[in-house]
A and B are shown apart, each in its own frame.
Chain A
Amino acid sequence: MEERMRKYKRRKSILRRLSESPKAQKVETVMLPVAFGILVVALWQGKILHRLFHTDTFVLPVPTKIFGIMGGITDKVIGNTIDTLLVAGIGLLLGSIIGYLVAVIASFLPNMGKGGLTIVGAFASIPIAALAPVMNNWTKDVSTEASFRSMISKILVVLLIAAANMGLNAYRGLTELKPYALDLMATYAASKRRIFVKLQLPNSLPYVFIALKVSVPASIMTAIVSEYFAEYITGIGRQIRENIVLAQYSIAWVYITVACMIGIVSYALLMVIQSLVLKRYR
């Protein structure tokens, strides 16, 4: 009997065993992307990427050169990064708060509020390229200091985008409650304020993070783009543009690298905060 079982139970092929073992799966999930990344960087460093895109090392410098230059102009890079981060951060914060408040007001006006949010959502679809110059014009009288007023105008653009995003998502969080949750509250004879604090507010938290997942990268992108139109020359985005106009492509690439790193780091940070905050509710 034993003999026969062994006969049927053939050894699986190595591929089959790899795809079935959970350990190998875990290794694969990490190794494959890393291998792909190394491949791309190697192609880039080996100038094969340049041949593919029909370009040269002047326009697309190799990674080692980019990092070499970054080391040389660290002070300038940090200064510009701070400017961009300030715009994106303040805009995101104020915009998210305003968006949330709008959502709260809309949730108290169930009929008219929804239509209002449709309009708010439309703001998110307005091209930044059209919004930024308008904001520049509107903030001309805020201050005599060009650096300050152009910063305000950039913040306003970011704020509008972030608020639209947060408003839509928070409204969903405040109104799309679990079935019977409102009925339960009614049986407790809970006041409106109580319902809001105990039910709607916690329910909206995951939605707040859904909104932030979109608006964190979006606010960085908006800050960078609105710098293109700003009066005062500062920030990562403006440096990218100015250096390309001057044909200083390698310096532009330094700022592009920084922009990408900001995007990735801030998103990772958001993920950490999310797991910390939402853990309490799970």
Chain B
Amino acid sequence: MKSTLQWLARQTWFQVLFWTLVLIGAWEAGATLVEMTKRMPANIMPHLYQILQAAFSGQEVSGGMTATQVVLKASAATLGRAFLGFLLGALAGYMLAFLMKLSGVIEKMIFPYLMLIQLIPVLGLAPIILAITGNINSSRLVIAAILSFYPVATNTLAGFKSVEKDKYDLMATYAAKKRNMFLKVLIPQSIPYFFTGLKVAAPMAVTASILVDTLQGDGGLGCILSQALKHAMSIYVFWLIVFFSAFVGIFSSILIHWVELLVTPGVVVNLLRKLSIGKEAGAYGRKNEKVQKKKKYPSSVV
């Protein structure tokens, strides 16, 4: 019995499950307390089952749509733009890092400003970008792009710079062309760093997009959130959005981790092997995992 418990305590999934249950317990305790003492408990801390009930009830809350439909329709607008901006920003970030690697002059010229962007509260710029672009959709896109641009650029550049001198020497002994140098060494080396940048950028892009919504009424998540908060519709819509956006924020970096595993050579093969043979997982996958763990906190690059 004791050894089973010890084994369980070492499993990551069990730890996460355990702490999630603790959190749920704490929430429910709080909700019960609030229910007994407050006049409008639903505003402050509704029970989780009440939120779930609201999610699955067929009751129409606004414009002939149920609460879940409202949230999903709003999130389609918000998250679609966030994703597009994220992709654009990531692409631009990678390109800039590439350019900075190619030319020392460009690097010296732009790198200090890249650092500066990190210190500027870009989300504070949301209203002004809305004023400049004049269109909520394009401003969502622009802000998500700016926010995802700099973590990707700085991390990718760090990846390019992390190439050891031995590798340059080896390529020199092969008399490799510059093009091959990039294709065979620099770009593969930069990919894990690139993904670290993406993992930081993804929740930011979601936050930015929701925030921009609250500035102008156009049916995004943030817009519905402020409407529900003002009791224009059921308050449970507000709670649904809170939990949904928290879920999306957390899930976005997990999703990118999965994408990273997919594109990392050898990991998928290893996973399949693990499933079929069991314990005989190759060393390659584990090695990669270690490398990724080391680079978890990209901001140390700064």
Contact partner, B245, options A122, A127, A260, Cβ 8 Å? A127
Whether the Cβ atoms of A129 and B121 lie closer than 8 Å is no
Q: How far is the CA of A131 from the CA of B132 in the complex (A)?
A: 28
Q: Which of B117-149 contact A (CB under 8 A)?
A: 118-125, 127-128, 130-132
Whether the Cβ atoms of A253 and B128 lie closer than 8 Å is yes
CB distance from B269 to the nearest CB of A (A): 27
Q: Kindly state whether residue A65 has any CB partner on chain B within 8 Å.
A: no
Whether the Cβ atoms of B207 and A264 lie closer than 8 Å is no
Contact partner, A221, options B6, B15, B121, B245, Cβ 8 Å? B121
Q: How far is the CA of A29 from the CA of B6 in the complex (A)?
A: 55
Q: Kindly state whether residue A104 has any CB partner on chain B within 8 Å.
A: no
CB distance from A130 to the nearest CB of B (A): 4
Q: Kindly state whether residue B163 has any CB partner on chain A within 8 Å.
A: no
Contact partner, A28, options B108, B122, B245, Cβ 8 Å? B108
Q: Kindly state whether residue A5 has any CB partner on chain B within 8 Å.
A: no
Q: Kindly state whether residue B45 has any CB partner on chain A within 8 Å.
A: yes
Q: Would A137 and B43 be within 8 Å (CB), given that A33-B113, A114-B12, A225-B124 are in contact?
A: yes
> B297 to chain A: which residues have CB within 8 Å?
168-169, 172, 210, 214
CB distance from B266 to the nearest CB of A (A): 25
Q: Kindly state whether residue A57 has any CB partner on chain B within 8 Å.
A: no
Q: Which of A31-61 contact B (CB under 8 A)?
A: 32-33, 35-37, 53, 55, 59-60
Whether the Cβ atoms of A59 and B131 lie closer than 8 Å is yes
Q: Kindly state whether residue B215 has any CB partner on chain A within 8 Å.
A: yes
CB distance from A121 to the nearest CB of B (A): 9
Q: Kindly state whether residue A63 has any CB partner on chain B within 8 Å.
A: no
Whether the Cβ atoms of A118 and B207 lie closer than 8 Å is no
> B23 to chain A: which residues have CB within 8 Å?
119
0/1 per residue, B177-218, Cβ < 8 Å to A? 000000000000000000000000001001100110111000
Whether the Cβ atoms of B109 and A128 lie closer than 8 Å is no
Whether the Cβ atoms of B15 and A129 lie closer than 8 Å is no
0/1 per residue, B228-263, Cβ < 8 Å to A? 010000000010011001101110110000000000
Q: Kindly state whether residue A244 has any CB partner on chain B within 8 Å.
A: yes
Whether the Cβ atoms of B229 and A133 lie closer than 8 Å is yes
> B246 to chain A: which residues have CB within 8 Å?
125-127, 130
Whether the Cβ atoms of B131 and A36 lie closer than 8 Å is no
Q: Kindly state whether residue A252 has any CB partner on chain B within 8 Å.
A: yes
Contact partner, B109, options A32, A225, A240, A249, Cβ 8 Å? A32
Whether the Cβ atoms of B300 and A128 lie closer than 8 Å is no
Q: Would A217 and B128 be within 8 Å (CB), given that A115-B12, A130-B225 are in contact?
A: no
> A134 to chain B: which residues have CB within 8 Å?
242
Whether the Cβ atoms of B132 and A60 lie closer than 8 Å is yes
Whether the Cβ atoms of B121 and A137 lie closer than 8 Å is no
CB distance from A235 to the nearest CB of B (A): 10
Whether the Cβ atoms of A32 and B225 lie closer than 8 Å is no
Q: Kindly state whether residue B170 has any CB partner on chain A within 8 Å.
A: no
Whether the Cβ atoms of A116 and B210 lie closer than 8 Å is no
Contact partner, B132, options A53, A111, A122, Cβ 8 Å? A53
> B299 to chain A: which residues have CB within 8 Å?
210, 213-214
> B203 to chain A: which residues have CB within 8 Å?
124-125, 127
Q: Kindly state whether residue B16 has any CB partner on chain A within 8 Å.
A: yes
Contact partner, B242, options A114, A130, A217, A228, Cβ 8 Å? A130
Q: Kindly state whether residue A103 has any CB partner on chain B within 8 Å.
A: no
Q: Kindly state whether residue A259 has any CB partner on chain B within 8 Å.
A: yes
Q: How far is the CA of A19 from the CA of B123 in the complex (A)?
A: 39
> A111 to chain B: which residues have CB within 8 Å?
6, 9-10, 15
Q: How far is the CA of A112 from the CA of B43 in the complex (A)?
A: 33
Whether the Cβ atoms of A115 and B16 lie closer than 8 Å is yes
Whether the Cβ atoms of B122 and A221 lie closer than 8 Å is yes
Q: Which of B159-175 contact A (CB under 8 A)?
A: none
A-B contacts besides A114-B15, A129-B207, A133-B242, 12 pairs, CB < 8 Å: A33-B111, A59-B132, A115-B14, A116-B15, A119-B16, A127-B207, A127-B248, A129-B245, A210-B297, A217-B119, A225-B211, A244-B127
* Sample (23) of A-B pairs whose CB atoms are under 8 Å apart: A28-B108, A33-B109, A36-B113, A60-B128, A111-B6, A114-B15, A118-B16, A119-B20, A119-B23, A122-B250, A125-B253, A127-B203, A129-B225, A168-B297, A169-B297, A213-B299, A217-B119, A224-B121, A224-B124, A241-B215, A260-B119, A260-B120, A266-B119
